[in-house]
């Protein structure tokens, strides 16, 4: 059975996008951080996206600019299996991508049972909320960035009940980022 993990960046005040849906603040040019993201990209997971994050990722990672700025990550992102959940997207052209229009929770529940590789949600706040509500997320990898945005969207908008988590690991980077790994408690 595959584990479902969430990898997201948040500001110190808890927002994963600013008030204008911008996430550029989370992109840092730093050798240590690049080495970490390069290693993460080699993890071999199946990536899960909502439409907005998928369109953002698909518009960048296959480009020459992506190959120039982060060649190893671009290569991995383009090769990994990807699933985009959207009822409105007409097609998904990015390599190795499947478009799923059916019920998100049921589709992910089935994927967890049949997949051998872990599933990783990147970005995709609405997807995270729905999967958290359904109790399907096994681990959160939250990157806290040393920036205060003042407003935006929180990662857990819409979660209407308490989720108990256990801190399992931390890592601090010289650029000020801190990654926190949380496992979900299954009461």
pLDDT digit string, tens, across residues 63-95:
999 999 888 889 999 999 999 999 999 999 999
Confidence of residue 33 (pLDDT cuts 50, 70, 90): confident
The predicted structure's pLDDT at residue 9: 93
Number of compact structural domains in the chain: 1
Which structural domain, as residue segments, surrounds residue 109?
A: 4-184
CATH of the domain at 95: 3.40.430.10
Looking at per-residue pLDDT, the higher value among 86 and 30 belongs to 86
Q: What pTM did the predictor assign?
A: 0.91
Whether the CB-CB separation of 58 and 23 falls below 8 Å is answered with no
* 187, pLDDT greater than 60: no
């Amino acid at each position: 059975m595959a584990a479902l993990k969430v990898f997201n960046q948040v500001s110190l005040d808890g927002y994963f996008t600013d008030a204008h849906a911008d996430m550029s603040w989370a992109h840092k040019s730093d050798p240590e951080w690049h080495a970490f993201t390069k290693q993460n990209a080699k993890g071999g997971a199946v990536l899960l996206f909502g439409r907005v994050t998928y369109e953002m990722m698909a518009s960048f990672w296959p480009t020459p600019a992506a190959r120039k700025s982060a060649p190893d990550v671009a290569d991995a992102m383009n090769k990994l299996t990807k699933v985009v959940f959207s009822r409105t997207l007409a097609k998904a052209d990015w390599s190795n991508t499947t478009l799923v229009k059916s019920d998100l929770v049921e589709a992910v529940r089935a994927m967890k049972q049949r997949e051998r590789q872990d599933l990783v949600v990147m970005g995709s706040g609405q997807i995270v909320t729905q999967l958290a509500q359904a109790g399907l997320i096994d681990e959160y990898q939250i990157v806290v960035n040393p920036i205060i945005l003042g407003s935006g969207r929180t990662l857990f908008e819409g979660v209407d009940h308490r989720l108990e988590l256990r801190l399992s690991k931390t890592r601090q980077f010289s650029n000020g980022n801190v990654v926190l790994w949380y496992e979900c408690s299954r009461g």
